[in-house]
Amino acid sequence: MGFDVERFVGLVNEGLLCCICRDVLEDPLQAPCEHAYCSTCINGWLVHENCCPEDRRLLFSSQLKPPFRYMRNDLNRLSIRCQNIDAGCDIVCNLEFIQGHEEECGFVSVPCPSPGCTSMVPRRLLDDHLKQCEHRVKECPKGCGMPMLDDEDQGHSCVAELRTSLELLRSEMIVKLEDQKNEYELRLDAQRSHMVQKEGEIQTEVDELRAQVNRLMSNAKLLMEMLNERQKDIDRLEENRGEMMNLIQSLQEESCNTLKVTCIKCHRSDKVTVL
């Protein structure tokens, strides 16, 4: 529902009225067709209908948007009387400030906070009422500081009240300590489980590293054996090379001491060693 037109000072533009309740727009929403409504009014309407109540065009709640800025400005500038005018409040202010005023208005009736009191008192008179309220709570006049009602003064025992308060405080402390103990035990169990899990993960990593080291050692051993074999092959090749060099040298020496002689008559050739 919107704001009652009668609360406003002066005439209100027709475009600022809700198309459903015909009061001044409160928390307004606007349809694509530019008709505006109070949010409560249009949301209640769309529960049973799916069209604009003004021109019957198809309308869904997802299409509703806040009104244009010029409309919001026009609404905020309207002068409105406090809703507690009948109680004596004569405040008139802009619509944008009325909610803040009414939340603090001294003419609005509020319940008395004293336990057991059912009186409704204007906010501006609440302090005076509390000073005289039969149900008001006060501190013990005997000095224990316990809150009490006026009619409890005669039967009040400071020692009994303090003992009761002490027992209550001790019970609360026991409950809190028990709760803290349970919480710490849960945390300790969680940390212990986490440590066991981490220990298992670390042990797994250590086992994997140990296996990798063993594989590397085996590979290194194989490589050393292969290197030794290759070295033996090289040594044999060097030995063979030496023998071949000696053989070549011997052949070269023999070649230098031997001449080929050919007979002029028969053309027969023979090798002759030169001594």
Task: Characterize the bridge pairing of strands 92-94 and 147-149.
Answer: unpaired
For residue 274, pLDDT beyond 50: no
76 touches 40 (CB < 8 A): no
For residue 257, pLDDT beyond 80: no
Average model confidence (pLDDT) for the chain?
85
Q: What's the confidence (pLDDT) of residue 150?
A: 58
Q: Token pair for residue 230?
A: 């290759």
Shortest CA distance to 29 belongs to which of 46, 15, 16, 42? 42
Strand partners, 110: 121
pLDDT band per the 50, 70, 90 thresholds, residue 267: low
Q: Token pair for residue 79?
A: 């002068």
Max mean pLDDT among 68-77, 137-146, 190-199, 236-245 falls in 68-77
Question: pTM of the prediction?
Answer: 0.48
Task: Characterize the bridge pairing of strands 28-30 and 36-38.
Answer: antiparallel
pLDDT band per the 50, 70, 90 thresholds, residue 131: confident
